[in-house]
Amino acid sequence: MTLWAATRANLIKDLRLEWRSKDALNATGFFSLLVVVIFSFSFEPTAEEARRIAGGLIWVAFLFAAIIALNQTWARELRHHVLDGYRLSPAPASALFLGKALGNFIFVAAVEAITAPLFIIFYNLRAVGDASLLILVFLFGTWALVVNGTFFAALSIRTRNREVMLPLLLFPISVPAVLAMVQATTFILTGDDSPLLWIKLLIGYDVIFTTAGLLLFPTVLNAE
C-alpha cells in the first residue's frame, strides 16, 4: 500500500466517522461560540481597539477549540485496539499520522469558518490591509496547530492524565506559531505593516514540524 493510498483511506475513515457522529464538530463549534461570547463580555472595545486585539482573541479561541478536537482524535482508536491492529498492518505508520492530521485540519478549519464570521459580526471588524491574505494565515496557522497537536495527542494518550497533557505539550512548542498567526492577523486587520514575514515564518514552521512529525511518528506508534 502506498503512502498516499493509506493516507487517503485513513482520512476517509475519519471523515466518515465524524460525519456519522459529528462529535468533534459539535463540541468544538459550540465551544468556540461560547469563547466568542465570553470574550465579547470581557472586552468591550471600540472599532479601533477591536482591530488591534481581534487577532489575538480569535487565535486564542481557535487554539482552545483545536485542543478539544485534538483530544478526541486518538481516543476512539484505543477502543477495540485499533492502534495495535495498525501496528501489525503493513500500511506505513506515517500515513496514519498524515491522515489524522488532515482530518483534524478539516474539522478545525470548518469550525473556524463558522466562528470567524461571528467574530467579524460581534466586533464589527473591517480589515484595513489586504484581507485575501487572511486565507493564507488561516490555512498555514491552522495546519501549524493541527500537525503538532495530532503528534502531541499521540504522546499524551500514553500518559495517565491524557486530556490535561495535550495543552501542556502543545502550548510551549506553539509559541512561535501563535505569535506569527496573531501578528499576521493583526497587521492585516490594522494595515500597520506587511504580514508577509509572519506568513513566511508560519510556512517554515509548518515545513519543519510536518517533517519532524512524519519522521518520528512511526517511533511513537511502536513505543511500548
155 binds another protein (CB under 8 A): yes
Distance CA(174)–CA(88), nearest Å, equals 33
- What is the widest separation between alpha-carbon atoms in the chain? 58
209 binds another protein (CB under 8 A): yes
Nearer to another protein, 9 or 155 (CB): 155
Neighbours of 21 (CB within 10 A): 12
Q: Which stretch binds another protein (CB under 8 A): 17-25, 83-91, 104-112, 156-164?
A: 156-164
Phi and psi at 71, nearest 5°, equal: -65, -30
Cell (9 digits) for 176: 512561535
Nearer to another protein, 32 or 186 (CB): 186
Interaxial angle between packed helices 93-123 and 133-156, expressed in degrees from 0 to 180 and rounded to the nearest 10: 130
Per the listing, cell 511518528 goes with: 217
Nearer to another protein, 121 or 207 (CB): 207
Is the CB of residue 189 less than 8 Å from the CB of residue 58?
no
Neighbours of 41 (CB within 10 A): 7
Question: At its nearest, how many Å lie between another protein and the CB of residue 129?
Answer: 18
Distance CA(214)–CA(198), nearest Å, equals 24
From 8, 64, 82, 176, residue interacting with another protein (rule: CB under 8 A): 176
From 23, 179, 191, 203, residue interacting with another protein (rule: CB under 8 A): 179
168 binds another protein (CB under 8 A): yes
Question: At its nearest, how many Å lie between another protein and the CB of residue 42?
Answer: 22
Nearer to another protein, 46 or 219 (CB): 219
Is the CB of residue 150 less than 8 Å from the CB of residue 216?
no
Total number of residues that touch another protein (CB under 8 A): 33
Residues found near another protein in the complex (CB under 8 A): 148, 151-152, 155-156, 158-161, 165, 168-169, 171-173, 175-176, 179-180, 183, 197-198, 201, 204-205, 208-209, 212, 216, 219-220, 223-224
